Chains A and B, each alone.
Chain A
Amino acid sequence: MILALTLLSCMPGPAPETLIDELRVVSITADPPQAEPGDVVGIDVVVADPTNTGFDTLIWTCTPLGDGCLEGEMGDGWGTVLRDGETSLQTEAVVPAGLDAVLAEVGGTLPILTWTLACEPGLCPAIDAVAEGETSRWLDDPTTWLGELPLEGVSLATRKLSVVEDASHANPTLAALDTLEGATTSEEVLLQFQLEGTEGVETEVFGYSTAGGFSTPEGGLVDVDGRVDLTWFAPEEAGEASLYVVALDELGGTAVWEATVTIE
């Protein structure tokens, strides 16, 4: 047993948790991040496809009241299928109306789930079925069929959207202070950002990349002026890398910055 113990330590260099090496939904942004019953919410999804195999995407929301989702009783149009393999996708969802009574019972905040399923073409029957109009069986509870899908080539992500009586919070904005032109192999690159719209709201900023990695999975510290610095380690091989920096605040707000970098 003694020899089976391993040394736990943080070594200098990229943190492996910041490397995206397979198809993954990186972020789901709801705009606005808090909604009222009956609102139309924009949903922006960022997907990383580091192996360039292409993918189909299914995006839907679920208000879990009783059995299944309330959206299933709202008629057609539940769930959006996108097959163009774009890594940045937008769609809309309608927050069910008539939730005022429920909100009063649950203390004024009701979480509904936004789901995004990204799959290599042909791997996920759910996408084809929803495209054909068969929704409830697949969208009420994805855990009933997720176990039948392979680990590789499938990414199912979820995000809670808060439905409140008085939605006033907006998404923050995240802007890079410098333009990243390129990098050399193994270079340590300092990325500096300005975060706006997070006054009085605790916010964390994290980085991901499809090659190399960021220095820590714990994110960067946001100072009082909204400045945040992250260090990215370029990979040891030349090529291209997609970088994603995501800001998450405690009220559900999200800001995403992404860039493609050439490493020489």
Chain B
Amino acid sequence: MRTTALALLLSLGLGLGLGDAQAAEPVLPQLEWQPETERPLLEGEDPAAPQPAVLLEVDVGADGQVLFARVVESQGPEIDEAAERAAMDLRFTPARDAEGQVTTARIRYGLRFGPAIGTPPPEPEPSTPASGEPSGGSDLAGGEIVVETRRTSPEVTERVLDAKDIQVLPGTGGDAVRVVQNLPGVSRPPVNIGQLIIRGTAPEDSAALLDGGPIPLVFHFSGLTTVVNTDSLSEVAFLPGNQGVRYGRILGGLVDLRFTRELPEESRSYLSVDVFQATAFTEQPIGERTALTLSARRSYIDAVLNPILNGGPTSIQAPRYYDISARVLHLPDKGGSIDALMLVSDDRFRFFDEDGVEDLGLSTTFQKLRFRWLQPAGGAWESETTLVAGPERQSFTFDGDGEAYEAPLMASVRQELRTDTAGLFDARLGLDLEAGLDRFLYDVPGFGDPEEAEVWVLAPAPYAELTWRPGALRLTPGVRSDIRWLDTGDILLSIDPRLGGRYIVNDDTALIGGIGVHSQPPENRQVIAAGEAGDTLKPAWALHKSLGVEYQFTSALRGGLTGFHNSQHDLVVGREDRFAFFSGPPDFEAMDTGAYANAGSGLVYGVESLLELQADSTVGLLSATWSRSLRTNRDGDEGLFRYDQPWVINALVSQELPRNWRLGARVRFSSGNPYTPIENRIYDVGTRSFIPLFGETDSARLPSFFSLDLRVDKTYEFERWTLTTYLDLQNATNAQNLEVINWTYDYSEEEPVAGLPLVPSFGLRGEF
């Protein structure tokens, strides 16, 4: 079989010189061994007729073994099954990336049934033609291998999760971002509500993106599911820190939800129902170069629970959410892609009093249009143009008396030019622009003077990055500048220089490291409030430093160990404590309710470790993080950050069993959050109220968290459709994990609030 390489990583040439310092060329997998195979003879088929090759998509592991194979162009279920089975016995030489490191590769292979080809392992043979004599009339007479190895990412630490793997992991409900919570560097959110706490930073200091564009909310209120259907995604990227200059305006890390840029081979649709929600999904190719994807989800746990919860004078409306997405992907003849997405999300959660008046209400809603255009820009350059725009509103009502909302009308535009040749140099130039009208109101009891304004915002952020690959070393220096202009006349400026690096020690080992400045502007309402008080605010900034090692133990097992040290400066303090989360009763006397000022600082340091297993039928992950997160307030007093969790350990495994069964388990352990204890209380006879006497701030800690989750899947294959059933037991041991310390009204004893007990979730998914 003639092999033609159409590797995405091959250099088209920058003309920057080739010499001894040139980076290695990528190396494609070459077939070493195909055992004798026999093609099933279909009824009425002439055994003497030419037998076309079966086109398969094959994942080749770092040791050359086949990890996964699926038929791309079906020739009937019997032949498809025989081809996929035969493909699992193929052996290839491993692929190598542009840095010379062995890597997994996804290729397309035309398999012809017949006599054995090559030599059986373990003795590798030079690559040989893979087929017998080509026969006339076959479209795949020469065969074709197309390498679709992953682009070489310039990021220091970028953990990418494949959407397919996500769906079978236990305890996560098949949700992309919930899987991220199992990775090192991510602390457990309080009450499991789905916030991202990355390397000791607050949830508001990290970001969720859609292909690099911001979205206001990553989880629906329940914390059960992301606002984007995982089936719409190709992968989820998690960057815990030291990210490149493409990303900015955050002190912490980010999650980037990435849509596929491949057209579906065939139509696919499914309906699924479980305890919490119903989902409808369809993916339809339109012609040869276009595809349409539609998804809709709606929770109904409120419809089940509300009649029960509304039995008394004061009632709760259980969280209700829905999301709808529609996407059109078009691949033009000249290359690149055009992608238009509409995403609608709505979340609501309310308490009502006995008169039907809303006591407390929370809601988040947004409607976003995202347009993304990737196109060749001449030579090795590629252009990316992304626009995200649409209204959003997050609101909070309190006791019919207080109200708070944020309702920005913003657009985000990114224009980037980049090369990705894996050659000696690559470059990235871009402009990340946000503009629009920010509208907000904060007028709630206890907050103090209301904050309300409508302000126009223009925030351009140009950035530039160079990747240099002298031999086994890769260095990526870059710089980003964030400018924020408000129509109040306030202008904020930050300049973030960053440097990332990677050094290939040998085939199995790589060292990674990075150092860089990461700035985050204050909220617009903070800037305006400070301005009205005659003060000015500037962006907070953090200096990220990390150093680590990655090691490939075997073809299926790899690991990494990373140390990080992040110092935070010019943090905005004042009034903000009113909206902070506390694991115990808040000590209002100790809160900083003064005017906003850049008077805070922080320090986060720790070590992360990760082991990943990707074997034939087993997926596993073990992550452990030790860290400390500290904050220093306006008065110079240092203390623990409210989300400080010294230990976070997660272990997951999912095993494929015969007859389409799959079994999975997850164990989670994490330290409890700190809280301020109550040592005694004073009874105010005049107001008939008990006043708590607090101990030292954050000197107590909640008990550690432990949870065992189990999952079992069974798939039934029918002629035209498949049915998958699953049972997911979260907290299978019914551990009583304390989430919040509450007290009786007279502070005579604690009334801890436990998290979720054992929660069984049963679901059905019919795919056709």
Contact = CB atoms under 8 A, between A and B. Distances in A.
Given A4-B755, A8-B312, A157 B680 contact: no
A41 B193 CA distance: 55
Interface residues of A, number: 35
A55 B748 CA distance: 18
Interface stretch (A23-31, A74-82, A90-98, A189-197): A23-31
Interface stretch (A142-150, A175-183, A222-230): A142-150
A7 interface: yes
Interface in B478-522: none
Nearest to B694: A147
A220 to B, nearest CB: 14
Interface in A139-166: 142-143, 146-149, 151-152, 154-160
Given A9-B314, A146-B679, A4 B685 contact: no
A2 B193 contact: no
A8 B316 CA distance: 8
Nearest to B748: A151
Contacts of A3: 756-757, 759
A71 B316 CA distance: 52
Contact of A160 (B315, B686, B754): B686
Nearest to A11: B312
Contacts of B759: 3
B47 interface: no
A22 interface: yes
Q: Could you say which of A2, A10, A24 has the most chain B C-beta atoms within 10 Å of its C-beta?
A: A2
Contacts of B754: 4
Nearest to A148: B679
Contacts of A1: 191-193, 222-223, 319, 755-756
A156 B692 CA distance: 11
A257 interface: no
B682 interface: yes
Contact of B683 (A4, A24, A143): A24
Contacts of B305: 2
A4 B682 CA distance: 30
Contact of B316 (A7, A143, A148, A155): A7
Q: Could you say which of A4, A22, A154, A159 has the most chain B C-beta atoms within 10 Å of its C-beta?
A: A4
B323 to A, nearest CB: 18
B453 interface: no
A146 B680 contact: yes
A248 interface: yes
Interface string A115-133: 0000000000000000000
A101 interface: no
A158 B311 contact: no
Contacts of A25: 683, 685
B682 A156 contact: yes
B679 A147 contact: yes
Contacts of B314: 7-10
B755 A8 contact: no
B557 interface: no
B764 interface: no
A10 B313 contact: yes
B133 interface: no
Contact of B753 (A4, A17, A24, A160): A4
Given A1-B222, A8-B351, A151-B748, A146 B315 contact: no
A228 B686 CA distance: 19
Given A1-B193, A3-B756, A5-B309, A151 B682 contact: no
A149 to B, nearest CB: 6
Contacts of B191: 1, 4
Contacts of A27: 685
A253 to B, nearest CB: 11
A142 B682 CA distance: 10
Contacts of A143: 682, 693
Contact of A147 (B192, B312, B684, B693): B693
A157 B693 contact: no
A206 interface: yes
B749 interface: yes
Contacts of B316: 5, 7-8
A251 to B, nearest CB: 11
B466 to A, nearest CB: 46
Given A158-B684, A160-B686, A2 B301 contact: yes
Contacts of A142: 682
B318 interface: yes
Given A158-B683, A206-B688, A7 B756 contact: no
B581 interface: no
Given A8-B314, A8-B351, A151-B748, A157 B685 contact: yes
Nearest to B316: A5
B225 to A, nearest CB: 13
B463 to A, nearest CB: 39
A26 B686 CA distance: 10
B308 to A, nearest CB: 8
Contacts of A248: 686, 688
B695 A147 contact: yes
Contact of A159 (B193, B319, B686, B745): B686
A208 B745 CA distance: 15
A213 interface: no
B93 to A, nearest CB: 51
Interface in A14-47: 16-17, 22, 24-28
Interface string B204-229: 00000000000000000011000000
A157 B756 contact: no
A16 B739 CA distance: 25
A235 interface: no
A252 interface: yes
Contacts of A16: 745
A2 B686 CA distance: 38
Contacts of B749: 151
Contacts of B746: 17
Contact of B680 (A5, A24, A147, A158): A147
Nearest to B679: A147
Q: Could you say which of B318, B351, B683, B745 has the most chain A C-beta atoms within 10 Å of its C-beta?
A: B683
A17 B679 contact: no
A157 B755 contact: no
B756 A146 contact: no
A151 B683 CA distance: 12
Given A4-B756, A156-B680, A146 B693 contact: yes
Interface of A: 1-5, 7-10, 16-17, 22, 24-28, 142-143, 146-149, 151-152, 154-160, 206, 248, 252
Given A2-B222, A248-B688, 4 more contacts: A156-B680, A158-B682, A158-B684, A252-B686
Give me the 10 closest cross-chain CB pairs, A-B, nearest first.
A9-B312, A147-B679, A157-B683, A8-B314, A159-B685, A146-B680, A28-B685, A159-B686, A156-B682, A157-B685
Interface of B: 191-193, 222-223, 301, 305, 309, 311-316, 318-319, 351, 679-686, 688, 693, 695, 739, 745-749, 753-757, 759
20 contacts: A1-B191, A1-B222, A2-B222, A4-B191, A4-B756, A10-B313, A16-B745, A143-B682, A146-B693, A147-B693, A151-B749, A155-B683, A156-B683, A157-B682, A157-B684, A157-B685, A158-B682, A159-B685, A248-B686, A248-B688
